């Protein structure tokens, strides 16, 4: 089984001034996330990577580039899930050919399948590939939400090995308690990293790790080694950043805030593609305060 580690970063996609993928900056960002921010794994073309506005060709180019540039220094998970089962199967197969280490499959959005429809969707994709699969349950974006029971059914499929869970803490605890050995739960909310570890999660698929990965790793390792008070102090210190990247000073679509923060830190990742728009002046002032 592939070990995705404890700290997984959902990587932004750097764009140049024309709004095209900036390959030089993509290379620099991968180096930075692995070497400076201590990411175990990178998710390429997830929500934070602006997957809705990347073409299929761009996604495959990104998967190929990330695998080659990371060169084994971290694992690469390809965001291949869509709300079309057939399209998801096709992209997952192509990603597998490129040598990625796993696939992230989001709950189908907009078409609102029921639990049986979601089970069959993920089952069909998983059985079409040998890649390890991480499910992605994010009800705030997809409306439809995987139930605990459906996730546990899917966990019986041999290559469905993890879930990125953004449902309430109770569901994280229920999955962690009843899932087969080796199936891992990852929090999908930075602010819930420590609470979810406490109820059985394995790690975090993070946005804030672009900025505070080393501190997040320290927090995780402190908790795992029994230094609970140290972990709590680090969580308290990081909480304004965790929350602020999504509420700057009112809810800001991801990855607007983290891209601005990275640019402020000297990593030229560019802006966002429409329909997202750059941070306003007020939002920029707030984000800078988080970095101070």
Q: Report, as residue numbers or ranges, the catalytic residues.
A: 136, 164
Neighbouring CB atoms inside 10 A of 254's CB total: 20
Please name the residues in contact with 191: beta carbons below 8 A apart, sequence gap of 6 or more. 239, 242, 243
**Is the separation of the CB atoms in 123 and 154 below 8 Å?**
yes
Q: Which tokens sit at 245? A: 């990247």
Burial 38-48 (b: 16+ CB within 10 A, else e): bbbbbbbbbbb
Please name the residues in contact with 261: beta carbons below 8 A apart, sequence gap of 6 or more. 210, 211, 245, 287, 290, 291
**Backbone φ, ψ for residue 247 (5° rounding):** -140, 65
Q: Is the peptide bond before 202 cis (omega within 30 degrees of 0)?
A: no
Report the sign of the C-alpha dihedral through residues 168, 170, 173, 175, in that order: negative
Q: Which tokens sit at 157? A: 């499929």
Question: Cα torsion for 259, 265, 266, 271, to the nearest 10°?
Answer: 10
């Amino acid at each position: 089984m592939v070990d995705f580690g404890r700290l997984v970063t959902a990587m932004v996609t750097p764009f140049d001034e024309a709004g095209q993928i900036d390959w030089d900056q993509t290379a620099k960002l991968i180096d930075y996330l692995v070497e400076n921010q201590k990411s175990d794994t990178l998710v390429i073309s997830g929500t934070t990577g602006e997957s809705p506005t990347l073409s299929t060709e761009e996604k495959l180019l990104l998967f190929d580039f990330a695998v080659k540039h990371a060169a084994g220094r971290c694992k690469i998970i390809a965001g291949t899930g869509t709300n079309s089962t057939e399209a998801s199967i096709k992209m997952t197969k192509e990603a597998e050919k490129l040598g990625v280490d796993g696939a992230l499959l989001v709950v189908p959005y907009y078409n609102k399948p029921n639990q049986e429809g979601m089970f069959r969707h993920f089952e069909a994709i998983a059985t079409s590939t040998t890649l390890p699969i991480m499910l992605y349950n994010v009800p705030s974006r997809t409306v439809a939400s995987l139930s605990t029971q459906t996730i546990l059914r899917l966990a019986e499929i041999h290559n469905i090995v993890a879930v990125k869970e953004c449902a309430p803490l109770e569901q994280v605890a229920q999955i962690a308690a009843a899932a087969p050995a080796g199936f891992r739960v990852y929090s999908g909310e930075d602010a819930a990293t420590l609470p979810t570890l406490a109820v059985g999660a394995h790690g975090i698929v993070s946005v804030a790790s672009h900025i505070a990965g080393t501190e997040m790793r320290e927090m995780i390792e402190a908790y795992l080694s029994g230094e609970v008070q140290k972990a709590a102090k680090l969580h308290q210190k990081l909480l304004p950043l965790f929350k602020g990247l999504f509420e700057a000073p009112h809810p800001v679509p991801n990855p607007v805030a983290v891209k601005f923060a990275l640019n402020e830190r000297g990593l030229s990742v560019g802006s966002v593609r429409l329909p997202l728009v750059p941070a306003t002046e007020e939002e920029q002032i707030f984000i800078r305060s988080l970095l101070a």
